Every structure is written in C-alpha cells, then in structure tokens.
Amino acid sequence: DAKTTQPTSMDCAEGRAANLPCNHSTISGNEYVYWYRQIHSQGPQYIIHGLKNNETNEMASLIITEDRKSSTLILPHATLRDTAVYYCIVRARGSQGNLIFGKGTKLSVKP
C-alpha cells in the first residue's frame, strides 16, 4: 500500500468547513483513498473512499486531484463532535488483510 502524509494537527471553528489534506504521491492506478476517523475512546469509523472522482456522502466529501497524488477530506459544517484523529489510507480495492494506520491528523473543532 502506498505511503500517505498528513499534517499532525489542525484546528477548525465550529460551523466552518474542515479541510483535511493528504499526500499520496506514490499511489498506483488500482489504489483507492480511504478515510477513517477515531473519536476519543472509540473505535475507528469509516468515512468515505474514492478512486479518482470526487465523492460525497452524508458524512463528508472527498476531493482527489487529477494526478491522484493528493486528496482533501471536507467536513462541510464541522461540529464539536467531529473532533477526532483522521486517517488517510491508500489501499487497492479488493485487497484483503489489515489496514495500516499512520499517525493521522488530530482535528480539533473549537466553539
């Protein structure tokens, strides 16, 4: 699986959009970008994934650059409950086995 790079921490004001970047410059053609988050004292939670088109679901939007070397997870209206560590993971679709979690980005949503 390709390596990802994320900022260690970010702050966001409540009600504003949170934009979390991820670099994955060595991503290969069959690898998807997945995002998970882990709220304090809970297990990780799947958010969204995508290949090359932008994706949106009830939780977030995922914007992937045309060259696929980076992506941005967008929480359109961050709430205090979105405070968590966000993990960007690159993985081939259909691959099996464990996820490899890096250090992620600690997002702090502040009132």
Q: State the residues that interact with other proteins by CB under 8 A.
A: 32, 34, 42-46, 49, 91, 93-104
Task: Name the minimum Å distance from CB 104 to other proteins.
Answer: 8
> Between 77 and 103, whose beta carbon lies closer to other proteins?
103
Choose among 86, 4, 72: nearest CA to 39: 86
Task: Name the minimum Å distance from CB 40 to other proteins.
Answer: 11
How many angstroms separate the CA atoms of 77 and 50, rounded?
21
> Between 13 and 99, whose beta carbon lies closer to other proteins?
99
> Between 68 and 91, whose beta carbon lies closer to other proteins?
91
Residue 22 · residue 107 · CB < 8 Å: no
Task: Name the minimum Å distance from CB 94 to other proteins.
Answer: 4
Assigned token pair, 7: 């900022």
Find the distance separating the first CA and the last CA of the chain, reported in whole Å.
37
